[in-house]
Structure 1
């Protein structure tokens, strides 16, 4: 069949979803001299919409195909819509982007604004799918015909106005190949800042918190600010570290995120401006593959107020990302970095995808995308992993093996 000048018939079936609808339609169409040009299917609340575009040569008796499709719909108690057309060629759509929208709640006005911005940028929405309905609603759209940077900038403005999160990523292999996750620790993987927990026990919390906040905003040199804060801890009994280690709480969804990505054979790394005395326990607990952090110097059972070895600062985090990438044999372009403070900026910009997680404004502006809900596992949705897939994998792991 000559693909340069083909007639087409679009068959759209709508009705209650049940097993066998797709096979029944294609089994019927198999009796005719036609080819399949495109297929789209979606199920919403048990209602199926199946669209099949078939191509046929001039002179073919398409009336018989039309009648057969109507009979399938009648037998299945479904509605059918048929439309003929002509196309010179039907190439695979190129330049696809994934636009992911996160909202808690997600309101119609937000979807209207996002869709409007996509249209205003001359792009088309080819497919829409829900990836999750809790703890946030996540909708993903396949978009074609858009300039990535222009669309990302436009949607960032709309996301801020609508108070939702929007990510724009290249489709296909660009997205699927991200196999190394590198994450900040304090206020990202875990709740709060370890140095402030230690400072509370040393009686200098207010002083340390002020310096921490300035450093996170990028107003102070990180290494200098870290040494200044650690110096305030001099004389603290090392046993306080054990207390803090037990007090540390993972961010909501952190364990789910790490567990799911490890199942999918992702490599997982943490890099922290905090301390190995705490991060080493996280490595053991979560099965993390790589880690880098600072080490508090301890002498005679007490903190000296100094750091042992080189400081992991903003540049050090990016260097660690590159090292983890080499050790894992994974290109930088296939990495995802997640962080919240100015100390993470170099790492976020070096990674294939940089995600600002509940971050300061300067970090949100510099990152590829931002997540502003307090659930770390929502990052799975940005990687195209649905809530249903996560739950199905959890259920499978919880099922005991059959007796032998």
Structure 2
């Protein structure tokens, strides 16, 4: 038997693939492999067929190409190997991705002995995103080099092993402040209380890991003593979401994910944010309230870096979800343990302390690009919105 690689290129129209299959069937050729893609209405189809009549196949496929005005090329190829190679998924995203940027990424991959098996565009809105399927190198071996190449090319790059687990993520946990929402809730509350500058400085230092989180939190809460709780609830009801947050949460829920939030902020506020977004659960710090006003003290255990990691493990355990099938998204030092324990830890416009340890980083201001790291393309999202009985709101 002779193995022939068939490449069909040209303007697309209905019936081409059907006619090709009919031609091969009439020749009793065995179809060994098949890939097809459409790029701006240009068909690119590749197949491998096994035949004991190679001359007849060449002749009939030339006639097929003439019928449809297509370019048909054939080459003899060896048998496919039976040992599957380890593969990685390299996701590249940015507001624009130039050929020069992809040159840097692909040249780096090639220098590491990695071969690019497939490239798929996942989105061109709100950012461009390409997914590269790569073989010949392990994820840990290429992650640091490719991440550095991404920085040089001014694009975000994520490297993940291509496993069943990657396609079976089931729980996503978010930080709230500067992740699901724009800004920091406690800073907005402090402005109302007349202590915005003092609280803001403590927040910046805590999120950068320069101050112990619990000490900084208690110091900030003490400055809010006497504030009416209605102020906090009003702020939580009005705070703007990060662009793409509604689309992201609605799509994850539609896909069957459990979606939760862990916050170092205040539960009376994050509960409202969670209800507005349709989250399954939120966990945050409880403020002591007497006669409708803050006492300047906290109740119960503080939700700090360690507690966020524990909450992820606890919720995953109760749901019977392995930690390898969880995703965590955050922006500050308080999210380190949560991202570290998750199967996929994503740093969203994050402080350097978190970027340095995350599995993936996002530096664009659109939260819904998290979907691209899960292999969900923009067209998938848009089709889902069109077919929903209760379509999610457009990207904010």
Give the match for residue 64 of structure 1: 56
Give the match for residue 327 of structure 2: 336
Greater displacement, 286-295 / 127-136: 286-295
CA gap 1:50/1:92 in 2 versus in 1, 3 angstroms = farther
Choose which of 59, 72, 75 in structure 2 pairs with 1:80: 72
Once the two structures are superposed, residues 320-369 of structure 1 have per-residue CA deviations (whole angstroms, 9 ceiling, x without a partner) of 10111012221111000000000000110100000000001111110001
- 1:116 is the counterpart of 2:111: no
* Separation in structure 1 between the aligned mates of residue 259 and residue 248 of structure 2, nearest angstrom: 10
Indicate conservation of the 8 Å contact 1:37/1:90, yes or no: no
* Separation in structure 2 between the aligned mates of residue 285 and residue 98 of structure 1, nearest angstrom: 34
Give the match for residue 3 of structure 1: none
Q: Secondary structure at the match of 1:240?
A: helix
Give the match for residue 216 of structure 1: 207
Give the match for residue 180 of structure 1: 171
CA gap 1:393/1:191 in 2 versus in 1, 3 angstroms = same
Q: Secondary structure at the match of 1:86?
A: coil
Give the match for residue 129 of structure 2: 138
* Separation in structure 1 between the aligned mates of residue 319 and residue 78 of structure 2, nearest angstrom: 50
Which residues in structure 2 correspond to 1:2-401 (within 5 Å)? Answer: 7-56=2-51, 60-87=52-79, 89-91=80-82, 93-397=84-388
* Separation in structure 2 between the aligned mates of residue 86 and residue 389 of structure 1, nearest angstrom: 36
* Separation in structure 1 between the aligned mates of residue 299 and residue 251 of structure 2, nearest angstrom: 34
Alignment RMSD: 1.5
Shift of 1:162: 1.2
* Separation in structure 2 between the aligned mates of residue 306 and residue 324 of structure 1, nearest angstrom: 27
Indicate conservation of the 8 Å contact 2:87/2:138, yes or no: no
Instruction: For structure 2, list consecutive stretches of 5 or more residues without a partner in the other structure.
Output: 392-396
* Separation in structure 2 between the aligned mates of residue 389 and residue 85 of structure 1, nearest angstrom: 35
Aligned residues: 391
* Separation in structure 1 between the aligned mates of residue 201 and residue 42 of structure 2, nearest angstrom: 55
For normalisation by structure 2, the TM-score amounts to 0.96
* Separation in structure 2 between the aligned mates of residue 25 and residue 399 of structure 1, nearest angstrom: 41
Once the two structures are superposed, residues 220-271 of structure 1 have per-residue CA deviations (whole angstroms, 9 ceiling, x without a partner) of 1111110011111111122211221233111100000000111111111111
Q: Secondary structure at the match of 2:47?
A: strand
Structure 1 stretches of at least 4 aligned residues deviating more than 3 Å after TM superposition: none
For normalisation by structure 1, the TM-score amounts to 0.94
